[in-house]
Amino acid sequence: MEHTLELLEKHPNSRVFHLYRDLRVAYDGEDRYREARKKGVVFVRFDKDAPPQVKKGKKDSGKALRVNVLDQVLGAELLLDVDHVVLATAMVPRTTNKEVSELFKLSLNMSGFFMEAHPKLRPIDFQTDGIYVAGTATAPKTIQESIVQGQGAAGRALIPLIRGIRKAEAIVSVVDPEVCVGCGTCEINCVYNAIEVVPGDGSHDYAVSNPVLCQGCGKCAAGCPAGAITMKHFTDDQILSQIREALKDVPANQPRILTIMCNWCTYAGADQAGVSRLQQPTTVRDIRVMCTGRLSVTHMLEAFRLGADMVWISGCHFGDCHYVDGNVSFERRFAIAKKIIEKAGLESERLQFTQISASEGSIYAEKVKELSKMVEKIGPSPLRQRGR
């Protein structure tokens, strides 16, 4: 748009055709778009399946080139005789992005650009602390946007430098070297590079967690095949104790729905539903974990053993997980648990997994109603008496 207006300023008698497939203008770009239209710029939209064709111009036209384009709005074919064709090339990610992402454990989107921690709440942060992003590293941007983000990233980097200290998260993983078999599953799954397998001193290899890098998601603890990893403040014993208390003293005529929610999204969404005074059944018993990735198959099966009519796990939307891919790692264990309860004779509908964000309190309330009706239809769990 800037180039179009500049061209018209230098050559006011020029006739400009702007061929586009998808045109989006933000901020003051809308004003420039309107200005261009007032100055006579013709915008022609085409379909990606029928791109414009550029051919040599006809001698009688006096123009060097002829552009054949199907106007998607008019539904008519246009023949444009022009002197010049200017191609606006796409901005693509650097080929070295993959190498950098593997080195620093950073996420890339489907297009190959870097993914920020959160597009609205943390647009210049990565999930890995101490690494910041700005400009076109995340997506095509204007020069002004890139400058502003660069200033913001520099300001964020100054904070730990000025403080001179780094406060570590209290909820971190702890590895028992006596139980660890050194398989390396935790090292592969950790997106923060916070845990690694080191050679044992005269014994077998074992994993060591770095509390400064650990963000406390709990994926390593839930996925450890040897059960050698635990999370401070969210140990297996603590989670199982909460499950037992949640399913204790529930009236016989009331459905027992155990809800396990991630701290950052669904738990906040449930809180919003309560603050908004949205009506919902009292059939659910809530348990909070930092991430659904902390949940193991054992946690879900224990809830059913104790007589839960339904176990409902809810976390962030895919692609929006606070811990990058915690919900994705849980989804695999969810599928395993679903097969196990089916083989045990329970309906697969008794185990639910949803994604509800912090701003979707109304959706949470409606989901509580929906699942309560589902439990009433299915009936009480046959393990209720045994759970007591």
Q: How many domains does the chain have?
A: 4
Instruction: Assess whether pLDDT exceeds 90 at residue 322.
Output: no
Angle at CA 235, nearest 5°, toward 386 and 354?
70
Q: For 6, list phi and psi in degrees, rounded to 5.
A: -65, -40
Same domain, 313 and 262: yes
Least Cα distance to 247 among 334, 288, 305, 315 occurs for 305
If asked whether residues 147 and 206 sit together in one domain, one would say no
94 assigned to some structural domain: no
Q: CA-based Rg of the chain, rounded to a whole angstrom?
A: 28
Whether the CB-CB separation of 333 and 297 falls below 8 Å is answered with yes
What's the CATH code of the domain at 177?
3.30.70.20
Among 127, 143, 163, identify where a domain stops.
163
Question: How many other C-beta atoms lie within 10 A of the C-beta of residue 349?
Answer: 13
Question: Beta strand pairing status for 65-71 and 53-56?
Answer: antiparallel
Domain-located, residue 168? no
Q: Are residues 328 and 308 in the same domain?
A: yes
More confident residue, 109 or 267: 267
Count the Cβ atoms, other than its own, within 10 Å of residue 132.
21
**Do both 253 and 144 map to the same domain?**
no
More confident residue, 35 or 26: 35
pTM over 0.85: no
Residue 377 and residue 287: Cα distance in Å, rounded?
A: 24
| Same domain, yes or no: 329 and 369 | yes
Question: Does some domain include residue 63?
Answer: yes
Q: Are residues 293 and 224 in contact, defined by beta-carbon separation less than 8 angstroms?
A: no
**17 and 154 fall within a common domain:** no
Q: Which domain holds residue 213?
A: 173-231
Q: Is residue 92 part of a domain?
A: no
For residue 107, being part of any structural domain is answered with yes
CB-count burial class (<10 Å; 0-12, 13-18, 19+) for 1 = middle
Q: How far apart are CA 189 and CA 225, in angstroms?
A: 13
User: Which of 231, 248, 268 represents a domain boundary (last residue)?
Assistant: 231
130 in a structural domain: yes
Do 304 and 224 share a structural domain?
no
Rounded average pLDDT over 66-86: 92
Report the 10 Å Cβ neighbour count for 104. Answer: 14
Query: Which of 259, 172, 179, 261 minimizes the C-alpha distance to 220?
Result: 172
Residues 243 and 303 occupy one common structural domain: yes
List, for residues 116-142, the tens digit of each pLDDT value: 887 877 899 987 788 999 999 999 988
**Is 95 within a domain?**
no
Q: Is 91 within the bounds of a domain?
A: no
Considering the domain architecture, whether residues 244 and 221 belong to the same structural domain is answered as no
Sign of CA dihedral 55, 59, 64, 70: negative
Is there a single domain that holds both residue 206 and residue 290? no
Question: Distance between CA 28 and CA 47 in Å, rounded?
Answer: 27
Residues 118 and 183 in one domain: no
Judge if 254 and 381 occupy the same domain.
yes
Give the neighbor-by-neighbor strand order of the sheet with 257-262.
284-289, 257-262, 310-315, 351-355
Question: Mean of the pLDDT values across residues 346-365?
Answer: 96
pLDDT digits (tens, 9 = 90+) for 11-28: 999 999 999 998 888 778
Q: Which of 22-26, 47-51, 349-353 is predicted with the least confidence, judged by mean pLDDT?
A: 22-26
Mean pLDDT of the chain: 92
Structure tokens at 365: 């309330």
Q: Each residue of 231-279: pLDDT tens digit?
A: 999 999 999 999 999 999 888 888 999 999 999 999 999 999 999 999 9
Six-digit token pair at 242? 């909460």
Alpha carbons 46 and 20: distance in angstroms, whole number: 6
Of 182, 204, 231, the position where a domain reaches its end is 231
Q: CATH number, domain at 268? A: 3.40.50
pLDDT class for 183, splitting at 50, 70, 90? Answer: very high
Q: Is the Cα torsion angle 178, 182, 184, 185 positive or negative in sign? A: negative
